[in-house]
């Protein structure tokens, strides 16, 4: 009879031991996962002493500030683009010899325009005895004053070409090398 009693006790002890071993394995797995989660948490939030909620609120505030900054910059870009059309960034120059008795093309017409064709044209006539300079206002690629052939040519050149910015010019130079 003592043998019959001891048999269930052995099975109960063995079952308890197996359950304990399973519990130990589960505890080790849980510790491993907790360590991994802690390492990820520390990578994300650092050792700031802040709670997840505080970090999330701070991130939300930073995102709102960044969004407002982007909106402000978009507004500024729109303003700059609207002003760009009024900038005098189109140039055209024609050199010519108005008098047959001079030996060089020392006279010129220089047109300075914006995107709408407004600006001015300046003409310098060089002669042996004197130099004369004339300036005429330009509106929509035309002037209320009579324009010479060279002035019209300079205006057409200016209207059809925009001067490159320094950034464009330097990038084109490096690309050409």
Q: Give per-residue pLDDT as tens, 84-108.
A: 878 888 999 999 988 777 667 889 9
What is the residue extent of each domain of the chain?
2-81, 90-162
Per-residue DSSP letters for the chain? -HHHHHHHHHHHHHHHHHHHHHHHHHHHHHHHHHHHHHHHHHHHHTTS---HHHHHHHHHHHHHHHHHHHHHHHHHHHHHHHHHTTS--EEEEEEE--STTSSS--EEEEEEE-TTS-EEEEEEEE-SS-EEEEEEEEBTTB-SS---HHHHHHHHHHHH--PPPHHHHHHHHHHH-
Q: What is the structure's pLDDT at 64?
A: 95
Mean pLDDT by 10 residues, the chain (177 residues): 63 87 94 89 74 83 95 94 84 89 83 93 89 94 94 94 54 50
Q: What is the structure's pLDDT at 23?
A: 94
Q: Give per-residue pLDDT as tens, 62-79.
A: 999 999 999 999 999 999
């Amino acid at each position: 009879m003592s043998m019959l009693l001891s048999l269930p006790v052995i099975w109960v002890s063995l079952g308890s031991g197996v359950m304990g071993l399973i519990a130990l394995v589960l505890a080790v797995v849980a510790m491993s996962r907790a360590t991994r989660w802690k390492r990820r948490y520390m990578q994300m939030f650092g050792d700031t002493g802040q709670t997840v909620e505080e970090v999330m609120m701070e991130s939300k505030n930073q995102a709102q500030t960044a969004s407002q900054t982007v909106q402000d910059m978009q507004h500024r870009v729109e303003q700059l683009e609207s002003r760009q059309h009024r900038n005098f960034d189109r140039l055209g120059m024609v050199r010519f010899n108005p008098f047959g008795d001079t030996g060089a093309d020392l006279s010129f017409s220089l047109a300075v325009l914006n995107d709408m064709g407004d600006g001015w044209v300046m003409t310098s006539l060089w002669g042996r005895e004197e130099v004369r300079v004339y300036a005429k206002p330009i509106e929509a690629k035309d002037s209320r004053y009579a324009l010479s052939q060279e002035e019209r040519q300079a205006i057409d050149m200016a209207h059809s070409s925009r001067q490159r910015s320094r950034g464009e010019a330097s990038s084109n130079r490096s690309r050409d090398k």
